Amino acid sequence: MPKESKQYVCQSCGGVSAKWQGQCPHCAEWNTLVEEIVSKNITAPGAAMHSSSRGKSGGRRQLELAPLDAKTPAPPRLQTGIAEFDRTCGGGLVQGAALLIGGDPGIGKSTLLLQVTAQMAGNLPTLYITGEESLDQIRLRAQRLGVIGAPLTLAAETDLTTILNTLKVGGYGLVIIDSIQTVHWDALDSTAGTVAQVRACAGELIRMAKQLGFTLMLVGHVTKEGTIAGPRVLEHMVDCVLYFEGDRNHQFRILRTVKNRFGATDEIGVFTMTQTGLQEVTNPSALFLAERDHPVSGTAVFAGMEGTRPLLVEIQALVAPTGYGTPRRAVVGWDSARLAMILAVLESRAGMSFAQLDVYLNVAGGLRITEPAADLAVAAALVSAATGEPLPERQVIMGEIGLSGEIRAVNQLDLRLKESAKLGFTDAVIPTLRDAQLPNAKIAVKQLRELRQFISSIEKTSSPLRGEVTHEVRRRG
């Protein structure tokens, strides 16, 4: 008889508790603990292959010590031929690495992976295992994508043991599991998609990938809370985590590196979803700059960086007099706490009060930016919106704002300026360079130390923001 005991696993953080409680003691989420039977003599389906040293000799075994400076070649990279994808992975797929691709349902993960694998299958034996769709559905998608002739092997399966048995003998170089939430290991009592199942199944698959040296790509759905499979447990287990994001109302999709043991994070790849699948976007700045032929107040262009690549985006702000009570602050594509901070700095360091105004802030094109370097562009858009004074049309703005109203340095200034010049911008507002050399770019540069300096340069003398909200704003409201 297998010896059994019970434990309670949080479906949000994966924490284990000995008894049931309403609130998880690890992450303080409510009602997330689920009972699990722990059977003491479970052995992994693949365990026979990798258990070795724990047996008889395990008691006396010591660590194998190694020097740091031993020659290690960089891991060979397998290019997929889809440049946007390769860059996000840090230069191509690494043999034996495990990748997790997360994203909302319907965002295009299966489409992306089918395009990637169809490209790879010619050079590398590739197996695409689906637990979500039928084989016919995949074939129909392949037809739509124009990759139906690719030498790709498909399987529709959700049973972990069957999958591992197949992988053991298949000699594959690349394996896709779409999605990890559908895979089920019958040694565990819980249903597919629970933390226990996802963790155990992913663990076994990753172990086999390392052992046999195939590249493993797991698809993971993002939950309402925005993390993969509820817990972040999966993110710790894999070598590389990519998020596929995008707005359903926009065509473009962004593949973002969140973690990469073999390369840089914060890298993005930009695609558009078309009738015939995902197309690479090689010049994304053009996509995120709103098109217009005359200057409008409340917009500022931010020269941002996404990973190693510069990306120009338009920040749009709108202010309107508050009707009743607390003014509204609505933000799309930026951090609302950061907006509150900028408004506070504008008020206490530059004397501009937005207390009687509703504020709406939007990053054009549906992009989400996280860089503090966008602060100054946000402040510029806000001031321009409130004064009704458009900013110079061909101007880019960058700089972080500190709490004392100082404008702080940004990294990668030369790349930002070169990209701006390339896209036809003629002026740039940047933080004061203290010791650094001004990069050589074909753009006129204005260096600023203080937010106040900047505001006086865009503000009309009769600013509606000083003291009372004026007729100007009221009229527009």
In the bound complex, what is the minimum distance in angstroms from residue 114's beta carbon to Mg ion? 9
If one counts every other C-beta atom within 10 angstroms of the C-beta of residue 168, the result is 14
In the bound complex, what is the minimum distance in angstroms from residue 246's beta carbon to ligand TYD? 10
In the bound complex, what is the minimum distance in angstroms from residue 89's beta carbon to Mg ion? 19
Q: What is the phi/psi pair of residue 45, to 5°?
A: -55, -35
According to DSSP, residue 54 is labeled T
Lookup: tokens for 305 = 């960086």
- 277 makes contact, choosing from Mg ion, ligand TYD, none, with CB < 5 to 8 Å by partner type, with ligand TYD
In the bound complex, what is the minimum distance in angstroms from residue 112's beta carbon to ligand TYD? 7
In this structure, are residues 108 and 135 in contact, taking their beta carbons and an 8 Å threshold?
no
In the bound complex, what is the minimum distance in angstroms from residue 61's beta carbon to ligand TYD? 45
Q: Indicate the residue among 106 and 477 with the shorter CB distance to ligand TYD.
A: 106
Give the interface with ligand TYD as residue ranges (CB under 6 A).
103, 105-111, 141, 144-145, 273, 275-277
- 401 makes contact, choosing from ligand TYD, Mg ion, none, with CB < 5 to 8 Å by partner type, with none
- 77 makes contact, choosing from ligand TYD, Mg ion, none, with CB < 5 to 8 Å by partner type, with none
> Can you tell me the distance from the alpha carbon of 143 to that of 151, in angstroms, rounded to the nearest whole number?
14
> Can you tell me the distance from the alpha carbon of 22 to that of 16, in angstroms, rounded to the nearest whole number?
13
Residue 110 sits in the site that holds Mg ion (CB under 5 A): yes
In this structure, are residues 217 and 33 in contact, taking their beta carbons and an 8 Å threshold?
no
Among 182, 409, 342, 369, residue whose Cα is nearest residue 268:
369
Residue 182 sits in the site that holds Mg ion (CB under 5 A): no
- 106 makes contact, choosing from Mg ion, ligand TYD, none, with CB < 5 to 8 Å by partner type, with ligand TYD
In the bound complex, what is the minimum distance in angstroms from residue 278's beta carbon to Mg ion? 13
- 141 makes contact, choosing from ligand TYD, Mg ion, none, with CB < 5 to 8 Å by partner type, with ligand TYD
- 115 makes contact, choosing from Mg ion, ligand TYD, none, with CB < 5 to 8 Å by partner type, with none
> Can you tell me the distance from the alpha carbon of 348 to that of 401, in angstroms, rounded to the nearest whole number?
13
Q: Indicate the residue among 221 and 416 with the shorter CB distance to ligand TYD.
A: 221
Q: Indicate the residue among 157 and 389 with the shorter CB distance to ligand TYD.
A: 157
* DSSP result, 335-359: -HHHHHHHHHHHHHHH----TTEEE
Cα dihedral: 345, 350, 355, 357 (round 10) = -110
Cα dihedral 137, 179, 103, 264 sign: negative
In the bound complex, what is the minimum distance in angstroms from residue 105's beta carbon to Mg ion? 7
> Can you tell me the distance from the alpha carbon of 155 to that of 255, in angstroms, rounded to the nearest whole number?
26
Q: Indicate the residue among 138 and 342 with the shorter CB distance to Mg ion.
A: 138
Among 14, 36, 33, residue whose Cα is nearest residue 24:
33
Q: Indicate the residue among 177 and 313 with the shorter CB distance to ligand TYD.
A: 177
Binding site for Mg ion (CB under 5 A): 110
